[in-house]
Structure 1
Amino acid sequence: MAAIEEIELNAFSAPLADKTSNFSPSVPPDGLPGVSIAPSPATLDGKSNIPSAVSNFLNSIVGAGIIGIPFAIRHCGLFTGILLLSWVGYLTDCSVRMIVTLGRDLGVNDYERLAEKIYGKRGYTLICIFMIFLAFGAMVAYCIVVGDVVPELLGVTSSPAARPVSILLCSLLVMLPLSLLKDMSSLAFTSTASCAADMVLVVIVIICAPVGSSVAAAGGFWKVLGSSIIRPKTVFSGLGAMSFAFVCHHSSFIVANSLKDPSKERWATVTHWSVSMAFTMCMFMGIFGYLGFLEETRGNVLVNFEGGDDMGSLTAGRIMLILTMFFTYPMESFVARHALICVVYGKEAAREDNPRRRLAVTVGLYVSALVLSLFLPDLGIVLELTGAVSGSFLSYILPSSMYMCVHERELMSLLKQLRLDKGILFFTCRKVVENSMLNEEEGQPATRDRDGSVDAADAPIEIGGCQDLVGNGSFFSRTKNTFNALRPFWLPLSMFFFGIIAFVVGTITTLIGAFVTME
């Protein structure tokens, strides 16, 4: 969650580079038609090479949400979960390239200002609200992780006070003081450490998860697969946890603009490698974590592990996870604080150095997250709800809607043409059927003269100057051309409706599941 004004001012203090020779603003990813608005010349002093940019972007994708992927697989079903994980990864790759391309074309260099450029002040406010919800949900989730893991490390899980005391002390002594810092520059080193910790956790789960015994007890792999192809009642809840793990759009501009020679091809390479690596980590974590515990899989998969021969590895993994929570929580707090100040006081106030306001907002967010984490023991619910609401909006709905809004005239023209052609086809078919029925009633089937011409009564139907549209192929040819012209919009359209469904159904099913669990 690095989309913070303090960091952005440093990252974007210089104007964007005039890379028109390498970067084609009019050709968005996947052949999407370009924006007709010409950006002003810009310069960018980017210094990151591709491996460095891949590392930075991977850090922004992979976070603590990865430990909830096995729980998401459980709710989706093994087969459907893998398919949805692949689809979420694909949409993430496409949407981050889509918004960066739009930003370059429209002359803006961050996600919030892109929404403002297209939708006005309401767009800026709306995206800030969803960023608050996403960052705040992450803060609650990280406190829950601390409450799950610290008692395990200290060996005091039997005490009912262990969890709340662990959350209170760790957050008060470590996480809150770090959150009160003015900016994130002093925590910049933690992103690489966090990514390394996630990789180690994936390896630990692969090695330590009791996959063999668990699958054997359930009757074998094929029986497990057959019984968990899809879980219709909870599939969208699991999708929310996946969306939470992959949401990274708020930091995509920072990474893209830090890239040396930021051409479209180089940025595509960065996104492909970053998302592919994140997907691979999530897939291995999800498959091995789920198969190791099946229907007992928890929102934090590390809670499922008990003492055994691999206790040393598990302890090391828990320590790394806790350290990651300590240093990642403040980053989420920075994002929530910045977005909240923008919504309440205005975006200009976010640039001001007001210690009292920073203290009040930070403490208010901390107390709210602390209280919720004490009363919400299940990490899975927090990940699913946060992902369903904010993840769906920031990852799918907003990028696709902004793209279609910019290209509204072209899209509406094509849809109008498609509706017109469908109307012509319907009218033509109806007239053909009516004539056929009339001929049958009169006992006069359509005939041809000796010279091969059709009788006048059976002459081709004329509609708008086009004769026999079905017969001579002009309708099908024009419709084919219209569909081909619409092809660049299939991805944004499918992304938009997928996001709407994930948002609505995911939120409802997660809330219902939460109420059932509390009862």
Structure 2
Amino acid sequence: MSPAIGVHVPLLPNHDKQQAKPASISGAVFNVATSIIGAGIMSIPATLKVLGVIPAFVLIVIVGLLVDISVEFLMRFTHSGDATTYGGVMKESFGQVGSVATQICVMITNFGCLIMYLIIIGDVLSGSKPEGSVHLGVLQEWFGIHWWNSREFSILFTVVFIMLPLLLLRRVESLRFSSAVSVLLAVIFVAICSVMAIIALVQGKTKNPRLIPELDQQTSFFDLFTAVPVIVTAFTFHFNVHPIGFEMGKPSDMVKAVRIALVLCAAIYFAVGLFGYLLFGDSIMTDILVNFDKSSDTATGSVLNDAVRLSYALHLMLVFPLLNFSLRANIDEFLFPEKILLVNDTKRFVIITLVLLVFSYLAAIAFPNIWYIFQFLGSTSAVCLAFIFPGAIALRDVNGISTRKDRILATIMIVSAVVTSIIAISINIYNSFGNKS
């Protein structure tokens, strides 16, 4: 899941809406795919470890299909009324409560993603110690272990000297170059991962992937549900549906673009998951970048390992300001709805920016495992934005356009989302506290 957009704030200001040329389907496909693919790709291989290859593939397909249905709901029911935003269509259906609930979910989801980005950057630069095993970061491999390349200091340096200058830019257009570079870096990451897995496969060095889950005393059937929120979070981009969709000529174009992008992203997710699992087997970490700290038999292999990690870490550094931009806009609109525009109030702009950055940094240090962040978001705010809210809009049907098929699909979507989320949350709570008693 990549940069999100505020509920009522478009990504780019529309200075001349009437003369604007409708966006192309190809452009929308790129924007949607960019919105979907983000930090979520890091934990996809770990879901294959939990579920096995076949169930993971089925889950990716099912979530993709449900996302397609939910986006179609959002576009159709939005165009049947006067709203032009996610918060707007929720307000038409459920009043001010619906609009506020949407804003809160967007803020939680975006803030959670900022924390995940910093965690991943910390893993790459300074390593991690999951379950007692030590995984060195790039800086530690190059220069040895020192205070200045510790996790706390490396993330702080990145936040202050790379992210803060970009965060202080007032206009989103100013980030267009850094955003373009970030997309290129993500593509490089996927390409190198694939090449490394193919080379290992040819050389017979790959691990044997588990096709189906193995249930034992440590892993129960209900533990499998903890992988569902991770996939849901990886596919959640619904906060970008309206900004992208309303730039297009007609709603059907957006639906077509989303379907193409979903197929593309599902293929990328499964490919990265499978290649990552082939490379590392059951030793796969919740953040696959951590696995690339292993020393290679060749100098080329070591360079590729470092290139994989650094390319994606740099990608996240450049995406972070764009995600923060929309989060900052939502928080300001939520807390100060009657104030002047944030961009015109320097004091408020700087204070909100610094507070968000400090809290993101502290949370990334306090919670170094992205698996738990993914599970929390996927079980709460992300599942609301992706499935529960669109299904509720279809069932509410304030404009009387919902068909019997719509109501059935909406009910299935909501019930499935609620049940799996409750099970996942319960299992996580039990695993966190029950095993300690």
TM range (shorter): 0.7 to 0.9
Normalised by the length of structure 2, the TM-score is 0.85
Q: Which amino acid aligns with 2:152?
A: P
1:279-358 pair list within 5 angstroms: 279-305=266-292, 306-308=294-296, 309=298, 310-346=301-337, 353-358=344-349
The alpha-carbon distance between structure 1 residues 488 and 119, as it changes in their structure 2 partners (threshold 3 A), is: closer
Is the Cα contact below 8 Å between 1:59 and 1:194 reproduced in 2? no
- Aligned-partner Cα distance in 2 for 1:502–1:336: 27
Which residue in 1 is equivalent to 2:129? none
Q: Which residue of 61, 70, 76 maps to 1:101?
A: 76
CA contact (8 A) 1:241 1:387 kept: yes
Classify the secondary structure of the residue corresponding to 1:393.
helix
Report the residue type matching 2:172 in the other structure: M
Matched, 1:237 2:226: yes
Q: 1:61 — aligned with what?
A: 36
How far apart, CA to CA, are the structure 1 residues paired with 2:385 and 2:103? Answer: 10
The Cα of 1:190 is off from its aligned counterpart by 3.7
- Inter-partner Cα distance in structure 2 for 1:503 and 1:109: 29
Tell me the CA shift for residue 285 of structure 1.
Answer: 0.9
**Residues 430-509 of structure 1: pairs in structure 2 closer than 5 A:** 486-509=404-427
1:20-419 map, 5 Å: 45-151=20-126, 152-154=137-139, 155=141, 156=143, 158-159=145-146, 162-209=150-197, 212-215=204-207, 220=208, 224-228=210-214, 232-259=221-248, 261-264=249-252, 266-305=253-292, 306-308=294-296, 309=298, 310-346=301-337, 353-406=344-397
Change (3 A) 1:187 1:14: same
Instruction: Indicate the SS of the match to 2:380.
Output: helix
- Distance between the aligned counterparts of 2:98 and 2:144, measured in 1? 46
Question: Aligned pair in 2 of structure 1 residues 511, 207: CA closer, same or farther (>3 Å)?
Answer: farther
Which residue does 1:4 correspond to in 2?
A: 6
The structure-2 alpha-carbon separation of the partners of 1:123 and 1:241, relative to structure 1 and needing over 3 Å to count, comes to same
Alpha-carbon distance in structure 2 between the residues aligned to 1:401 and 1:167:
40
For the 8 Å contact 2:75–2:251, the answer to whether it is kept is no
Name the CA shift for 1:9/1:291 in 2 (closer, same or farther; >3 Å). Answer: closer
The residue type equivalent to 2:422 in the other structure is V
CA spacing shift, 1:518–1:338, aligned 2, 3 Å? farther
Identify the range of structure 1 (152-161 vs 172-181) with the bigger mean alpha-carbon deviation. Answer: 152-161
Structure with higher Rg: it is 1
1:269 partner letter = K
Kindly provide the amino acid, as one letter, of the partner of residue 269 in structure 2: C
Distance 2:352 2:404 in 1: 47
Assess, with a 3 A threshold, how the Cα gap between structure 1 residues 512 and 333 changes in structure 2: closer, same or farther. Answer: farther
Closer/same/farther in 2, CA of residues 518 and 92 from structure 1, 3 Å limit: farther
CA distance in structure 2 between the partners assigned to 1:88 and 1:188 by the alignment: 30
Q: 1:349: Cα distance to partner?
A: 5.2
Q: Which has the higher contact order (CA 8 A, sep 6+)?
A: 2
Q: Render the CA deviation track for 1:217-264: whole Å, top value 9, x for unaligned.
A: xxx55xx324549962332221111111111111111111222x2242
Asked if structure 2 preserves the Cα contact closer than 8 Å seen for 1:342 and 1:349, the reply is no
Amino acid at match of 1:283: F
Distance in structure 2 (CA, Å) of the matches to 1:518 and 1:318: 34
Q: Deviations over 1:15-69 (max 9, x none)?
A: 6xxxxxxxxxxxxxxxxxxxxxxxxxxx683432121121111111111211111
Alignment correspondent of 2:132: none
Residues 410 and 2 (structure 1), Cα distance of their counterparts in 2 relative to 1, 3 Å cut: closer
How far the C-alpha of 1:409 sits from its partner, in A, is: 7.3
Q: Is the 8 A contact 1:392 1:502 kept in 2?
A: no
For structure 2, which runs of at least 5 residues remain unmatched after alignment? Answer: 127-136
Q: CA separation in 1, counterparts of 2:358 and 2:247?
A: 35
Q: How many corresponding residue pairs?
A: 411
Task: Give, in whole Å, the separation in 2 of the partners of 1:347 and 1:58.
Answer: 35
Given that 2:12 and 2:173 are in contact with CA atoms closer than 8 Å, whether structure 1 keeps it comes out as no
Shift of 1:153: 2.4
Q: Once superposed, what is the RMSD of the aligned Cα atoms? A: 2.8
TM-score normalized with structure 1 length: 0.72
**Counterparts of 1:348 and 1:101, CA distance in 2:** 33
Question: d(CA) in 2 for partners of 1:78 and 1:159?
Answer: 40
Alignment CA distance shift 1:315-1:108 (3 Å) = same
Q: Give me the whole-angstrom Cα distance separating, in 2, the residues matched to 1:407 and 1:6.
A: 21
Contact 2:7–2:85 under 8 Å retained in 1: no
**Cα distance between partner residues in 1 of 2:223 and 2:386:** 21
Give the superposition deviation at 1:319: 2.3
1:110-129: CA deviation from partner (whole Å, max 9, x where unpaired) = 11211122111111111111
What secondary structure, in the 3-state scheme, does the structure 1 residue paired with 2:322 have? helix
CA contact (8 A) 2:47 2:56 kept: yes
1:516 and 1:383, CA in 2 relative to 1: closer, same or farther beyond 3 A? Answer: farther
Q: 1:180 to 1:494 in 2, by over 3 A?
A: same
3-state secondary structure, aligned to 1:201: helix
Aligned-partner SS, 1:189: helix
Identical-residue share of aligned pairs (%): 21
Q: 43-52 or 269-278, which moves further after superposition?
A: 43-52
Residues of 1 paired with 2:183 and 2:160: CA distance?
25
How far, CA to CA, are the matches of 2:51 and 2:14 in structure 1?
Answer: 40
Please tell me the residue identity of whatever aligns with 1:494.
Answer: I
Q: Deviations over 1:57-101 (max 9, x none)?
A: 111111121111112222333322111111111111221122022
The answer (yes or no) to whether the contact 1:118–1:405 under 8 Å persists in 2 is yes
CA distance in 2, matches of 1:157, 1:123: 52
Higher alpha-carbon deviation: 277-286 or 69-78: 69-78
Question: Does the 8 Å CA contact 1:400/1:496 hold for their aligned counterparts?
Answer: yes
8 A contact 1:63–1:195 mirrored in 2: no
Provide Cα deviations, 1:422-477, integer angstroms capped at 9, x if missing partner: xxxxxxxxxxxxxxxxxxxxxxxxxxxxxxxxxxxxxxxxxxxxxxxxxxxxxxxx
Q: Distance in 2 between matches of 1:136 and 1:274?
A: 24
CA distance in 1, matches of 2:228, 2:348: 37
